Amino acid sequence: MHKSEQKVIDDYEKEGYLCLKNGCPDLLVYKEDMSDAFFVEVKDMNRKLKPNQQKYIQILQKMGNKVFVKDNTTQKKSLNERKKDYFEKIISLLRYSGRTSTSKIASYVGIPNEYALKYLSELLILKLITKEEETNAVYWKILNNEDENEKI
């Protein structure tokens, strides 16, 4: 295991995640309760992804998985900081676009569709969006055939 991989593992474990080294990508990072999981490819010293690694990442993303490439030569944001950024982007899109689809939110924020719904629900619970935006959120759930009582 590379020194940089161990640093990435240590950072995620500090945030309550477990990590499995599987080789392609380097890590499977997940919460013990399975509420969150994603893949991480770790790169050292500005090394580039190999063509086969790019292909694996594309396949995993196309299947709806989150995949991150960690370059330890630059400072990366914590998972909570990234989630806050996602929330800010979603709120910004809501404020400027009005009614929009979850797929547009997912594309704009750079997350899978199911995470757009999950984050939207969290924003509603935290009351970080207005009543009008809440109405739009319900509209999105209807468009996506989401049951109001279904846990997302």
pLDDT digits (tens, 9 = 90+) for 67-91: 888 876 555 566 677 788 888 888 8
Confidence (pLDDT) at 152: 36
Q: How many angstroms separate the CA atoms of 123 and 58, rounded?
A: 29
**CATH code that applies to domain 80-143:** 1.10.10
Confidence (pLDDT) at 48: 79
Classify domain 3-76 at the CATH topology level.
Trna Endonuclease; Chain: A, domain 1 (3.40.1350)
Contact (CB, 8 A) for 140 and 101: yes
For 93-116, how does the pLDDT look when each residue is reduced to its tens digit (9 = 90+)? Answer: 877 776 777 778 888 888 887 888
Confidence (pLDDT) at 109: 81
Confidence (pLDDT) at 149: 42
Side-chain-side CA neighbours of 76 within 13 Å: the count stands at 17
pLDDT at residue 143 tops 80: no
Confidence (pLDDT) at 20: 73
Q: How many angstroms separate the CA atoms of 2 and 21, rounded?
A: 11
Q: Indicate where the chain has its CATH 3.40.1350.10 domain(s).
A: 3-76
Q: Indicate where the chain has its CATH 1.10.10 domain(s).
A: 80-143
Task: Give me the sign of the Cα torsion angle 111, 113, 109, 129.
Answer: negative
Confidence (pLDDT) at 144: 55
For 11-66, how does the pLDDT look when each residue is reduced to its tens digit (9 = 90+)? Answer: 888 888 888 776 678 888 888 888 888 888 888 766 778 887 888 888 888 888 88
